A = this chain, B = another copy of it.
């Protein structure tokens, strides 16, 4: 039994009814019964993406979907521009490289968001860019990039607009059709609050046109096969999918539909605001600039005089709240509070109270209650 409260930027806490859905008997993945579940799940997935295009579910992590996006559009030598302001922006470049593309980048200081104008300038000077990749929510730095504004720029260029919404979809505002996104990918275990192991991808007509022109450098992630199988009667996946995870996605998406997507985003925005307010009340420092800070994860500088191990170790071992550390060069310098998925006032109060006690125990002069009061304040009816 594990009762630790997961406040990391994925995997997130999964609701009992979603966990329970996984214990349903396995069915034949090539049957009308499964076809119905697949159809409903992919339709809800498209609704959450806010697209009229079909979505496809891939058994694999969000990285598998990022790879699917690249493996199906890159031919050797193709130039792909990636906005890089954190670990996941870098990952896109590494994937481009693995498939023989030429990775180019706009480097953004970690903790800042890209200025859309930079993308415009880059494309003006490099008309042969085949696609631009943007990580909506850079999980590693707690920064949200302005994908809506970038979309307005991208509509003037031929380059495909590829957006990673792994840690934002279902928690922050994403409108695939509205923003003109050509390829959008996400993962199950973040704001969608399903267990990890499933990824989703959706493609515009423009994207399919490119996909149809090339031979993908992958068999497992060949999107043309996903499209063909998805159009079969009954609809299926090209290779055996994780039936149990499909049940879980189906139920997790049901939960999202019941809550309503707008309401869900508002709930995440509140959680982000409450977390930031509490952090400031405890005299801690946000890592990213506040105006670009994420709706789903807050990165915080580790205060002087305490180590990451002490801080997160105390939180975990004494108060049973699991936070995330920093990644790559931020390791040891920041810690991160994930507030994505099924996060309400209750989980934040628990987390911030545990943080207050941890800081006090580690020798900080904390005014007990300041943090939790800041959380509560955001949720007071008169402030909603």
Contacts and interface: CB of A to CB of B under 8 A. Distances in A.
A197 B242 contact: yes
Given A63-B219, A196-B243, A242-B197, A11 B24 contact: no
23 contacts: A1-B24, A1-B25, A2-B24, A4-B25, A10-B240, A11-B29, A11-B243, A19-B23, A31-B322, A59-B61, A59-B64, A60-B60, A61-B240, A62-B240, A63-B240, A94-B219, A98-B217, A195-B243, A196-B240, A196-B244, A197-B240, A217-B217, A245-B245
Interface in A293-326: 322, 324
A248 B2 CA distance: 16
A257 B287 CA distance: 48
Main SS of chain A's interface residues? loop
Interface of A: 1-4, 6, 8, 10-14, 19-20, 22-29, 31, 33, 59-64, 66-67, 71, 91, 94-95, 98-100, 187, 189, 195-198, 215-222, 239-245, 248, 322, 324
Nearest to A13: B26
A377 to B, nearest CB: 29
Contact of A244 (B25, B26, B31, B244): B244
B196 A241 contact: yes
A373 B163 CA distance: 61
Contacts of A20: 23
B11 A25 contact: no
* Copies assembled: 2
A67 B11 contact: no
A87 to B, nearest CB: 12
Nearest to A65: B220
Contacts of A239: 61-64
A121 B144 CA distance: 60
Nearest to A32: B316
A369 to B, nearest CB: 28
A112 B305 CA distance: 71
B242 A196 contact: yes
A27 B10 contact: no
Contacts of A28: 4, 6, 8, 11, 322, 324
Contacts of A31: 322
A100 to B, nearest CB: 8
Contacts of A11: 26, 28-29, 240, 243
Contacts of A27: 2, 4, 6
> Which residue, of A20, A26, A91, has the highest number of chain B Cβ atoms within 10 A?
A26
Contacts of A215: 98
B61 A241 contact: yes
Contacts of A60: 59-60, 64, 220
A28 to B, nearest CB: 5
Contacts of A62: 239-240
Contacts of A4: 25, 27-28
Contact of A19 (B25, B100, B322): B25
A29 B12 CA distance: 11
Given A11-B26, A187-B240, A33 B197 contact: no
A244 B243 CA distance: 12
In order of increasing CB-CB distance, the 7 nearest A-B pairs are: A197-B242, A61-B239, A195-B244, A63-B239, A19-B23, A95-B219, A98-B219
B98 A244 contact: no
A217 B61 contact: no
Given A3-B25, A67-B219, 13 more contacts: A1-B25, A4-B25, A4-B28, A11-B28, A11-B240, A14-B25, A23-B23, A60-B60, A61-B240, A62-B239, A63-B219, A98-B217, A98-B222
B98 A63 contact: no
